């Protein structure tokens, strides 16, 4: 006979959560999650409740997720979405197809059972994402040369991150992110102060050559953020991989091809610095960057953000 599970609200409010619950079995914590229902992303036709900070033992998560859905329903939510730590600026999604590549730096790392526990609790995929590997950095896109020429004639200038004026460049990256991602799925704006607090710690680990900003005069119009895979040396492997984490280009006339040029520049810089591979990380399946990535890279991992309808 299975042991009874008790659910306890702890009062913890990490990252502005509206509630935090733990599942206790035989005196031992076996699962936990936070809930958000006040400040959440918008989804047409739904009142979202968010499940995040999720962790669970092999079989205990589904019961807690069912309890979480009851709590969100009682708050008037019509759909539960997770795992997401409040919004898409923070950790979200689960790996659904692991592939043969080991985990990479800044990627979620969790047991395979977590996605199954969401499914057993009645959740299904709401949005899907992929990571792809460019294993040959000599591969080029035939459109790059003409795009570079066109952008150069327009006066677009590319430069790397300036560590000695990091806050200024982070402010540029924040403004670009807010404008470029505003139509992304489940996007919510975030305060510049929170963004700066989240990204200032990169000062000690970032390689400036792998963060490139594009300017039209003094106005920033695009950026690409990449970083070495710091998990490789921790595993005792050679440091050969760069992770292309974020690409953003302002949605305005005259910027056609800038995203491709920025990706190409990262590949060139990675190769110049002695790296041999670039991971294009965590791309939404319908995002234009995924189509761009297809010119260079092959998919090796899949992820999903899950949802469950909450009946009245």
Cis bond upstream, residue 83 (ω within 30):
yes
Say if residue 186 is in the same domain as residue 227.
yes
> Is 59 within the bounds of a domain?
yes
- Residues facing residue 225 across a β-bridge: 211, 246
Say if residue 120 is in the same domain as residue 184.
no
CA distances 219 to 104, 122, 170, 175, Å, are 33, 47, 14, 10
Say if residue 97 is in the same domain as residue 153.
no
Say if residue 143 is in the same domain as residue 272.
yes
- pLDDT for residue 2: 59
Say if residue 45 is in the same domain as residue 175.
no
Say if residue 57 is in the same domain as residue 182.
no
> Is 7 within the bounds of a domain?
no
- pLDDT for residue 1: 33
Instruction: Tell me the C-alpha distance between 213 and 169, whole Å.
Output: 8
Comparing CA positions, the residue from 212, 165, 185, 137 lying closest to residue 41 is 185
Say if residue 201 is in the same domain as residue 285.
yes
Q: Taking CA 26 as the corner, what is the angle to CA 21 and CA 31, rounded to the nearest 5 degrees?
A: 30
Instruction: Tell me the C-alpha distance between 259 and 148, whole Å.
Output: 11
What is the β-pairing status of strands 277-284 and 241-249? parallel
pTM for the structure as a whole: 0.94
Say if residue 157 is in the same domain as residue 261.
yes
- Residues facing residue 227 across a β-bridge: 243
- pLDDT for residue 289: 75
CA distances 60 to 67, 116, 230, Å, are 12, 11, 32
Per-residue pLDDT of the chain (312 residues), as tens digits, is 356 889 999 999 999 999 999 999 988 999 999 999 999 999 999 999 999 999 999 778 999 999 999 999 999 999 999 999 999 999 999 999 999 999 999 999 999 999 999 999 999 999 999 999 999 999 988 889 999 999 999 999 999 999 999 999 999 999 999 999 999 999 999 999 999 998 988 889 999 999 999 999 999 999 999 999 999 999 999 999 999 999 999 988 678 899 999 999 999 999 999 999 999 999 998 877 777 888 899 999 999 999 999 987
Say if residue 147 is in the same domain as residue 286.
yes
> Is 3 within the bounds of a domain?
no
Say if residue 148 is in the same domain as residue 166.
yes
Say if residue 123 is in the same domain as residue 196.
no
Range of the domain at 144: 136-296
Comparing CA positions, the residue from 180, 188, 55 lying closest to residue 113 is 55
Number of separate domains in the chain? 2
> Is 8 within the bounds of a domain?
no
> Is 19 within the bounds of a domain?
no
> Is 15 within the bounds of a domain?
no
CATH number, domain of 163, equals: 3.40.630.30
> Is 97 within the bounds of a domain?
yes
Say if residue 202 is in the same domain as residue 219.
yes
Here the tokens at position 250 are 């302002």
> Is 1 within the bounds of a domain?
no
CA distances 112 to 13, 59, 103, 118, 125, Å, are 27, 11, 13, 11, 15
CA distances 235 to 102, 109, 205, 230, 238, Å, are 10, 15, 18, 9, 9
């Amino acid at each position: 006979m299975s042991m009874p599970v008790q659910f306890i609200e702890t009062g913890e409010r990490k990252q502005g959560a509206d509630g935090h619950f733990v599942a206790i079995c035989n005196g031992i914590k076996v699962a936990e999650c936070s809930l958000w229902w006040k400040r959440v992303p918008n989804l047409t036709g739904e009142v979202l409740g968010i499940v995040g900070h999720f962790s669970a033992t092999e079989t205990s998560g589904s019961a807690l997720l069912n309890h979480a859905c009851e709590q969100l329903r009682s708050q008037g939510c019509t759909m539960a979405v997770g795992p997401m730590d409040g919004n898409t600026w923070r950790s979200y999604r689960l790996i659904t197809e692991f592939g043969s590549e080991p985990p990479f730096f800044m990627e979620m790392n969790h047991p395979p059972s977590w996605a199954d526990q969401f499914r057993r609790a009645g959740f299904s995929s709401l949005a899907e994402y992929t990571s792809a590997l460019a294993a040959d950095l000599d591969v080029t896109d035939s459109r790059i040369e003409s795009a570079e020429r066109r952008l150069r004639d327009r006066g677009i200038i590319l430069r790397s991150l300036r560590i000695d004026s990091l806050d200024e460049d982070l402010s540029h990256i924040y403004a670009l992110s807010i404008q470029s991602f505003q139509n992304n799925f489940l996007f919510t704006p975030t305060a510049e102060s929170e963004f700066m607090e989240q990204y200032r710690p990169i000062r000690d680990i970032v390689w400036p050559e792998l963060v490139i900003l594009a300017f039209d005069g003094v106005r920033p119009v695009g950026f690409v953020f990449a970083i070495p895979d710091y998990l490789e040396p921790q595993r005792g492997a050679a440091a050969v991989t760069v992770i292309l984490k974020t690409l953003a280009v302002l949605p305005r006339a005259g910027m056609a091809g800038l995203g491709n040029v920025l990706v190409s520049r990262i590949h060139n810089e990675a190769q110049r610095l002695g790296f041999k591979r670039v991971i294009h990380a965590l791309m939404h399946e319908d995002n234009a960057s995924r189509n761009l990535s297809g010119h260079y890279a092959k998919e090796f991992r899949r992820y999903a953000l899950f949802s469950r309808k909450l009946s009245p």
